[in-house]
Structure 1
Amino acid sequence: MLLKKYRIRQLLFGSFFLFIVLLLFIIIYVSYQYSVSGLLQTTNEYQESQLKLMSDDLTSKIGTFEDYSVVLSRQKNFRDMLADQHWFTSSTSPVTQDFSNIIYSIPAIHSIEIYLTSPPIDNIQYPVRYHDLSVIEDESWYTSIQDISSAWLGPRQVEMVGGETSVISYGRKINTSRGELQSVIIINLDPYTVQGWLFGYSEGGRISLLNQNGVTLASTSEIELDEKVYSKLEKAKEEMDEGEATFQIRHDGQYIVATSIKPVNWTLMEMTPYEQIIAPSREMMKFLILIGVFALLIAFVYTLLLTRSFTKPILHLANVMKRYEVTQPIPRFPKDYNNEFGQLFNGFQDLMNRSKVLYESLDEQNKRQREAEIKALQANINPHFLYNTLDQLNWIAIERGDHDMSKMLELLGKMLRIGLSKGASIITIENELNYLEYYLQLQKIQLEDQLDYEMNVSDQVRYYLIPKLTLQPFVENAIIHGFQDGRKGYITIDIQEHDDHITLQIVDNGIGLVNKPVKHERLPTGGYGIRNVRERLDVYYGDEANVFVKNRDQGGVIVTIQLPKQKDEDGQIHGTS
């Protein structure tokens, strides 16, 4: 983890500075997106309102031309001509004159075309032209009007005196009373007139007018619309909720707002480059980035100073902890910190003071231990001296024929070997029993066979460990105090193994425990020896060891010692060499 790998100053500075960078980035990004969204919404609302007005105006103008077609179809001379078409054989007929006057009076009308069964022979008069009704089904636009009485036919090319000219046509059928097609009147609008209408709505806008087939009728720009745009417009129109008049799409970097002119199913739309809409937002973003860079410079310096100030006491404490040694004088910490840093400084200084005291205590203890070790090394000379001295005394006793003395010296030497045990405090039960055996034999010689003993010990428990000289003080106490009336003494030592402990019992047939006043002078191997055993067992085993001393019903004392099992793993007898 980063917290475990890098220094705290680097982590604090890096994380805090990164947080500020991310915060500024989020602020700039959200501000930019919010600004773009606001500009798009404002543009959309403005263009929707403008298109609604334009749509209403175009609907009115388109309706006017539809009304013109009705007026023309009901004109008296035209009706007379339909009643007797052979009478109107010249293109200079009253119908031509009447229709021409209408065309001249309405600038938006480019020309009028009339389809008759018997059109005039002279058919070159501009701007009214006649065509034979028999060829109408061959016209590409006829499908638009075939099943209805009138319709807008879209953009067309018409042959005039000056050549082909582009027009926007509206056609109306005239049927007989029996429903037979009698004539068709087509009013051709000048596309530039329609384009002039669009320019009148917006001077710099890109406005286009599309018919129901997606064909551009007029436009204020030279942008050519492909089929993809029309497909998107139709899809958006289909997805409009009922009651909505406008819809929006985006295509090739253009933001398009459109509205449907429902009477004729035309589409009026306005295109605005997306970059043009969001240009203010981009400028604002550049300004915010400049402010952000300046803020980051300030934040960098501030974060660096703050991090240094915050980590300075921590690094100071870490350096002291790293370099401090107990043998050195205790370093001093700043006293002007009243916060958590001050608590850390005071706590560590207290810890150093306690460590100093503890170190001095341990140093003093080590000195005493070294002194004891030196004394022990010096004492190691004494056992060899004692062994040699006892050996010489033994030979002297043998030479003089004093066998009891020789035996006693031999037993004393063996006891001395086990008692020293190379300085070990824990020995096996077997060594403890050997020591006790030598002691009892020595006492038996001294008491002239007034003492007898018995040891009941199984081989399984001989290799368990026991503190040295645990049994001897109790046996000695029984000999000194239990048999003082001159009776023949008998001592039984019984050791049993249980599931989780060992029981050692010492039973004698002495006078038993007698309540006597406590004397200040005690034998060194009497009460003090037993108390020493109790204290040592408590040190080694705690509550796991118990010593019980009580009188027997048959007379004498029974001592019961319970010890936890602790076996010598290598199975060797310790301390006999």
Structure 2
Amino acid sequence: MNLFKQYRISHLLFGCFFLFILISLCIIIYVSYQYSVRGIVDTTTEYQQNQLKLISEDLTSKLEAFEDYSIVLSRQQIFRDVIRREQPFYGGNVNSLTQDFSNIVYSIPAIHSIEIYLNTPPIDNIQYPVRYSDLASIYDSTWYEQIEDISSTWLGKRTVKMVAGEQPVISYGRKINTSRGLLQSVIIINLDPYAVQGWLLGFSEKSNLVLVDNEGNVISSTSSFEIDELFFDKLLEAKESTADELLTYQVRHNENFVVATSISPVNWMLMEITPYEEMVSVSRKMAKSLVGLGIVAIFLAFIGTLLLTRSFTKPILHLAGVMSHYQMNQPNPDLPKGYKNEFGILFKGFQDMMNRSKMLYKSLDDQNRRQREAEIKALQANINPHFLYNTLDQLNWLAIERGDHDMSKMLELLGKMLRIGLSKGESIITIENELKYLDYYLRIQKIQLEERIDYKIKVPKPVQHYFIPKLTLQPFVENAIIHGFQDGRKGTVYITIIEEPNHLMIKVIDNGVGFRTLSPNKNKLHTG
């Protein structure tokens, strides 16, 4: 149903104009909000990425320092003397080792404790930050798989038993092997999680930073944040889809916007979590302001549209009333004056139409006369082709009487070509008629060239019902004959039409002299 045909123009004009203003305001508000949000998100993301890169570099250097501590501790002579003994030695070296390692723990605030696994450990004293355990117990521990095939690695977050009970730590383990490659001892340096948290808070107290290991376990954070399996899978997917040269990536999860970076040496991830509502709060305030302004604008648009609609439709309705009551035998009605715009053109046009309508009745005889003359000319145009056909027919009989059968055949074929070529003035014909025209032309060429030219037309029947511009194929075939067999050789012209989805493929192929091509060896032109 066409609305413009069913309802009054005043209602349509008011509704369309008002709806256009309403939609335009909504689009402006939506685009402004989306553009603002995108700008804020991009700016925040870029800032957080740069910040995380700096934090990651600093954390990497600090963690590498503790890896160096483990190397230094493992190479101390007193430690080497203790692990070489086959029986526990409860004084001397062990006490000195405990005292030295304890001093290191006390002097470095970030170190929580040190664990040493030996084949024959001394009696453990839980009062000291240096703890001894049986080396065989590591095979039952959950962290041994991480260090089984390598010499040292970060073990992530663990718990150790101290005087005050079990306490969380972040551990780094290093294996000490004999010269034959046998495991001799394991030394673990435990970091205080609060020290790592202090590092993160030192970078930014307001940012929500979270440090997780490669299993998705939270190592340290500046706030309480739970990482579920779905969120960690999103992080891994974003990490894998990021280019190798870029270490930062971002995801959106549960109304939180997360920017993460990889800490390559330890295979951990550091991420900054920002509530999405907090990021776009300014944009939403702007959107609310725009909505308020839009409501006021809509109200003003309603009043303005109503007034404009009445001003536009009043003269049109007046003209419609005059036209509906106008009769030929009555004087011309009075129309409003003073309009210099399109309404004035309409009123003047209707006035002129009423004046011309009376003149039209007087000119009917002239129109009838001109129509008869046009019909006679059209009849003469139809007679001319018949004269041409009759002339060709007479020439054909004359050739037959003289015994020139080739000329007779060519005149007959030419007459058939003309009937298709004229096609009653139609410029579009079926492929079937186009092929007939082409067949007549090729038969004439065979007679003219003394059977040096043969041709084959392969077109499926269903394709022949399609339409094509008249005389589309003949110029191509003529070109193939003139240029392909100009040296007097014999040959064949192949015409095929293949139906493909949404189009037809037309091929005109000849086995004549071919194109001139460039020789790759002699760099000279030759015929192919």
Gap change, CA 1:90 and 1:141, over 3 Å in 2: farther
- What displacement does 1:327 show? 7.0
1:198 equivalent in structure 2: 200
Is the Cα–Cα contact under 8 Å of residues 90 and 120 in structure 1 kept in the other structure?
Answer: no
- What displacement does 1:83 show? 2.7
- What displacement does 1:60 show? 0.6
- What displacement does 1:88 show? 3.1
1:307 equivalent in structure 2: 309
Moved more, 13-22 or 108-117: 13-22
- The letter for the 1-side match of 2:105 is I
Is the Cα–Cα contact under 8 Å of residues 89 and 119 in structure 1 kept in the other structure?
Answer: no
How far apart, CA to CA, are the structure 2 residues paired with 1:326 and 1:346?
A: 18
1:54 equivalent in structure 2: 55
- The letter for the 2-side match of 1:57 is D
How far apart, CA to CA, are the structure 1 residues paired with 2:360 and 2:138?
A: 122
After superposition, give the CA deviation of every residue in 1:439-475 in whole Å (9 maximum; x if it has no partner).
xxxxxxxxxxxxxxxxxxxxxxxxxxxxxxxxxxxxx
How far apart, CA to CA, are the structure 2 residues paired with 1:298 and 1:266?
A: 59
Matched, 1:31 2:32: yes
After superposition, give the CA deviation of every residue in 1:71-118 in whole Å (9 maximum; x if it has no partner).
110112112212335463249610000000000000100000101111
TM-score normalised by L of structure 1: 0.59
Structure 2 counterpart SS, 1:243:
coil
1:525 equivalent in structure 2: none
Structure 2 counterpart SS, 1:177:
coil
How far apart, CA to CA, are the structure 1 residues paired with 2:183 and 2:355?
A: 121
How far apart, CA to CA, are the structure 2 residues paired with 1:310 and 1:27?
A: 28
> Unmatched 5+ residue regions in structure 2?
362-528
2:76 equivalent in structure 1: 75
Gap change, CA 1:65 and 1:358, over 3 Å in 2: closer
How far apart, CA to CA, are the structure 1 residues paired with 2:164 and 2:349?
A: 108
How far apart, CA to CA, are the structure 2 residues paired with 1:354 and 1:135?
A: 115
After superposition, give the CA deviation of every residue in 1:168-218 in whole Å (9 maximum; x if it has no partner).
111101111111111110101111111111111221221110011111101
**Greater Rg, structure 1 or structure 2?**
1
Match runs of 1:166-565 below 5 Å: 166-324=168-326, 330-352=332-354
Match runs of 1:559-574 below 5 Å: none
Is the Cα–Cα contact under 8 Å of residues 169 and 186 in structure 1 kept in the other structure?
Answer: yes
Of residues 117, 120, 126 in structure 1, which corresponds to 2:119?
117
Gap change, CA 1:163 and 1:90, over 3 Å in 2: farther
How far apart, CA to CA, are the structure 2 residues paired with 1:178 and 1:42?
A: 56
- What displacement does 1:321 show? 2.2
Gap change, CA 1:351 and 1:145, over 3 Å in 2: closer
1:575 equivalent in structure 2: none
After superposition, give the CA deviation of every residue in 1:255-288 in whole Å (9 maximum; x if it has no partner).
1110000001000011111111111111111111
How far apart, CA to CA, are the structure 2 residues paired with 1:312 and 1:85?
A: 114
2:135 equivalent in structure 1: 133
- What displacement does 1:330 show? 4.2
- What displacement does 1:333 show? 1.9
Is the Cα–Cα contact under 8 Å of residues 88 and 121 in structure 2 kept in the other structure?
Answer: no
Is the Cα–Cα contact under 8 Å of residues 99 and 112 in structure 1 kept in the other structure?
Answer: yes
- The letter for the 2-side match of 1:9 is S
Gap change, CA 1:52 and 1:355, over 3 Å in 2: closer
Is the Cα–Cα contact under 8 Å of residues 198 and 207 in structure 1 kept in the other structure?
Answer: yes
- What displacement does 1:303 show? 2.0
Of residues 146, 150, 154 in structure 2, which corresponds to 1:144?
146
Q: Number of paired residues?
A: 359
Gap change, CA 1:342 and 1:108, over 3 Å in 2: same
After superposition, give the CA deviation of every residue in 1:39-62 in whole Å (9 maximum; x if it has no partner).
110111011011111100110111
1:547 equivalent in structure 2: none
Gap change, CA 1:8 and 1:80, over 3 Å in 2: same
Is the Cα–Cα contact under 8 Å of residues 33 and 287 in structure 2 kept in the other structure?
Answer: yes
How far apart, CA to CA, are the structure 2 residues paired with 1:281 and 1:209?
A: 30
How far apart, CA to CA, are the structure 1 residues paired with 2:159 and 2:360?
A: 113
Structure 2 counterpart SS, 1:263:
helix
Is the Cα–Cα contact under 8 Å of residues 156 and 172 in structure 2 kept in the other structure?
Answer: yes
- The letter for the 2-side match of 1:162 is A
